Chains A and B, each alone.
Chain A
Amino acid sequence: MANLTIGAPVDNIKAGYMAMVQRKRIYSGIVLIVFVAMLAAGFDLADSRNAGGFWSGLSRIFDFPAELIKEAFEKSAALPGNLAMYFPALVETINIAAVSTLIGAIFAILLSLLSTRGLARWPRLIGVFRRAMDVMRALPEVVIALVLIFILGGGPVPAMIAITFHTAGALGKLFSEVNENADLKPVEGLTSVGASWLQRMWLGVMPQVAPNYLSYALLRFEINVRASAILGFVGAGGIGSELRIAISWGTGRYDAAAAIFILLFLTIVVIDQTSSHFRNKLVRGF
């Protein structure tokens, strides 16, 4: 009798649990099927709206790289000369990225401090500064760059302004997340001795958050190098515009394009590796 009274609820629990597991499995299965179907339908749609089809293009995917490598090999004697020739354009691209990261980070520090609870100079305006950062972050760089190219003409300045604008928003959001974790006691201490807002931020907050700021800024620099190469391609200066000329149909010089590819690839790999090395050092201490 005792066994029966205990056994029945245990069986109930077991049955209920199994039913729940079953249901969960069915739900996950449905979600998975829907996801895969969406993906397949999406690729199909993208394929049908593309100028060239996927399957016919797949066989030609190595044609362009092969042609490029072939021409680069045939003119391999010109490679060092080409590398030297496009180096100034590469420097310009890196300069665009570096300046926009620096200026963007300065704006981001201000914006993030102004939009963090407990630190803000004008607490009522926190929402305004946050929305401003959202808008700055959401606007793709290419939009600002294209409009500025119309006004200022080609060259590095439109790209610089466009990337700075975006960087200020993107870094500002990350910086304000860092600020939220900062200890407020030093700030209170500084307030008690009558420090101004700038002094409180500079002496009370900056020493706590600087390593994280620096780490995010390094990562942003890497992203910005890529962005400035792309913006060059749509009309701003730097190595992107040289690449556009080098690969254009008919008049293209593939040996030059190969040199630019090599320069871009090496730059990005070097920056990627050094920035991840220093970021590990800054944040994790090894």
Chain B
Amino acid sequence: MAVADIGYDPARTRATAVGLFRRKRLVAFGVPAIILAYFVYVFFAFDIPGLAERARMDNARILLADTYSHKVHVSQDNRSGETSVAIEGENKGKYADDAWPDWVQRDGQSVVVELGGGEIVRFDPGAVRYDVPGYGLVSIRRTDDGIVLDTPQGPLPDWINASNTRVSINRAAGRVSVTRNRTEALRYFAGWELFFFTLDSPFAGKSWGELASLAVSGDQVRPGQSNIGAMASDFWNNEMWRHKDVVWAIFETVLMAFLGTMGAMLVAFPLAFAAAINFSPSFLVRFGIRRLFDFLRGVDGLIWTIILSRAFGPGPLTGSLAILLTDTGSFGKLFSEALENVDNKQIDGLRSTGANAIQRNRFGVIPQVAPVILSQVLYYLESNTRSATIIGAIVGGGIGLLLTQAIQTQKDWEEVSYYIILTLLMVSTMDIVSGWLRQKLIGRTTNPAAL
């Protein structure tokens, strides 16, 4: 009886407990099951089984090899018989005819190319002979009916790809391809070639020691210009790696992020007052401004970028304005929430001393919200550097543009890796700088917007 008096019913409590356990068990098994089912659905919706077929592993190999090595092309025009040796096959990396590297030799009418590992390719008139140690001599003849391939006995190895218009041989040492009009042999070398100076510069191919002694020596390599100045200008105007354009592109990207973020802060700050309930008495104004913020955020950076690029054309200004518009929405929401959370005691204190509205806001409100606003702005600055890279890829500006161009041409992968490294450095630097500033100005905070 006493049990009933204090309102304790063991049966009911037990039922509740059992119910709770059942619910917990349901959640513990149900949620993973739902996620698993979702993964299975996506596995088929994204056609992951078919991915293995579509994946181009040969592309991946080329990409990987090109990122840390460069190739030198030895190519012969089969009509005129002219041969040229050029780094990456580019005009800017072409060796002069009397200054070929020592692994390419003339032998009467023929050209002999050593690919390393004892593999030797001979460009003879009318035929190409490739001596592969351990396999034998592969010869490719050009006839009136097309290209004829002669190999040693046995089945064709998978590194030879032949038809009657084209034969290509892919070996670890290099590649050879023969068509009616053109014969080409590529040899791989480690490292990024001509990163500092192109071949037309007097400093090309010199070691660090030679360069240092040239820098301090009085003899001018290029008359009328000090050696250090000439080196700097040759490096800066390197046409193969385009250091000047790259530095400008990085600067443009940071500029887009800076202008967009700071501009958005300046626009959003006054508007946030109009959207905060304790500063804006009119419901209509508040409602209108809040919907404006929602609209700016909802339309999304992608759509703003498209609309603005139609009006302003490609370039950094378009990117800045796109970031500015999107972030005005985000900042407006965050700032007005911060303003709604201010402590009224400080404002009342100022009012008691006879301060007017402007003074109350300046000394009572701004000191309270400044740390929140600053930390948010700094977080956004870092994340907008990343957005500016992406927006640059869409509108055409900054490092994003260089990156998309380099990837779309599908041959200069060493430039792609160079740009990726630079992008990483740029974003990390912005991260460190904004973190340092945040620490200096407001001390340690957690990310308010979780970017």
Does B313 lie within 8 Å of A140, measured CB to CB?
no
A266 to chain B, nearest CB (A): 8
Contacts of A60 in B (CB 8 A): 310-311
Select which of B59, B298, B389, B431 is within 8 A of A142 by beta carbon.
Answer: B389
Known: A46-B315, A230-B301, A233-B302. A139 touches B424 (CB 8 A): yes
Q: Which of A50, A160, A216, A233 has the most CB of B within 10 A?
A: A50
A94 to chain B, nearest CB (A): 11
Interface range on chain A (Cβ under 8 Å from partner): 35 or more
Q: Which of A53, A142, A223 has the most CB of B within 10 A?
A: A142
Does B450 lie within 8 Å of A220, measured CB to CB?
yes
Contact residues of B between 271 and 308, Cβ < 8 Å to A: 294, 297-303, 306-308
Known: A51-B314, A52-B311. A139 touches B301 (CB 8 A): no
B52 to chain A, nearest CB (A): 10
Does A268 lie within 8 Å of B300, measured CB to CB?
yes
Does B428 lie within 8 Å of A46, measured CB to CB?
no
Does A57 lie within 8 Å of B313, measured CB to CB?
yes
A39 beta carbon closer than 8 Å to chain B: yes
A30 beta carbon closer than 8 Å to chain B: no
In Å, the complex CA distance between A146 and B59 comes to 13
Known: A52-B312, A268-B298. A170 touches B451 (CB 8 A): yes
Known: A147-B416, A160-B46, A177-B446. A261 touches B303 (CB 8 A): yes
B136 to chain A, nearest CB (A): 34
The A interface is mostly helix, strand or loop, or mixed, namely helix
In Å, the complex CA distance between A152 and B54 comes to 6
Does B316 lie within 8 Å of A50, measured CB to CB?
yes
Contacts of A53 in B (CB 8 A): 312
B411 to chain A, nearest CB (A): 11
Does A43 lie within 8 Å of B317, measured CB to CB?
yes
In Å, the complex CA distance between A64 and B416 comes to 34
Does B451 lie within 8 Å of A264, measured CB to CB?
no
In Å, the complex CA distance between A134 and B416 comes to 21
A86 to chain B, nearest CB (A): 14
Interface range on chain B (Cβ under 8 Å from partner): 35 or more
B390 beta carbon closer than 8 Å to chain A: yes
In Å, the complex CA distance between A74 and B46 comes to 36
One of B7-15, B77-85, B147-155, B402-410 at the interface: B402-410
Contacts of B258 in A (CB 8 A): 42
Does B300 lie within 8 Å of A264, measured CB to CB?
yes
Does A155 lie within 8 Å of B317, measured CB to CB?
no
In Å, the complex CA distance between A261 and B301 comes to 12
Residue in A closest to B320 when the chains form the complex, CB atoms = A46
One of B37-45, B111-119, B343-351 at the interface: B37-45
Does B318 lie within 8 Å of A50, measured CB to CB?
yes
Does A151 lie within 8 Å of B297, measured CB to CB?
no
B42 to chain A, nearest CB (A): 5
A172 beta carbon closer than 8 Å to chain B: no
A234 beta carbon closer than 8 Å to chain B: yes
Does A138 lie within 8 Å of B407, measured CB to CB?
no
Does B311 lie within 8 Å of A230, measured CB to CB?
no
Does B46 lie within 8 Å of A138, measured CB to CB?
no
Select which of A43, A63, A142, A174 is within 8 A of B400 by beta carbon.
Answer: A142
Contacts of B446 in A (CB 8 A): 177
B160 beta carbon closer than 8 Å to chain A: no
Contacts of B56 in A (CB 8 A): 150-153
Select which of A150, A156, A243, A268 is within 8 A of B59 by beta carbon.
Answer: A150
Contact residues of A between 96 and 145, Cβ < 8 Å to B: 98-99, 102, 134-135, 137-143
Shortest Cβ-Cβ A-B pairs, 4 listed: A50-B315, A51-B313, A52-B313, A57-B312
Chain B: residues with CB nearer than 8 A to chain A? 35, 38-39, 42, 45-48, 51, 54-57, 59-60, 63, 252, 255-256, 258-259, 262-263, 266, 294, 297-303, 306-308, 310-318, 320, 386, 389-390, 393-394, 396-397, 400, 403-404, 407, 410, 416, 420, 423-424, 427-428, 431, 446-447, 449-451
Chain A: residues with CB nearer than 8 A to chain B? 35, 39, 42-43, 45-47, 49-54, 57-58, 60-61, 63-65, 92, 95, 98-99, 102, 134-135, 137-143, 146-147, 150-153, 155-157, 160, 170, 174, 177, 216, 219-220, 223, 226, 229-230, 233-234, 240, 243, 247, 261, 264-265, 268-269, 272
User: With contacts A54-B317, A60-B310, A243-B306 known, what are 4 further pairs, Cβ within 8 A?
Assistant: A50-B315, A138-B427, A150-B59, A268-B298
Q: List 5 A-B contacts (CB under 8 A).
A: A46-B259, A138-B424, A151-B63, A152-B54, A226-B302
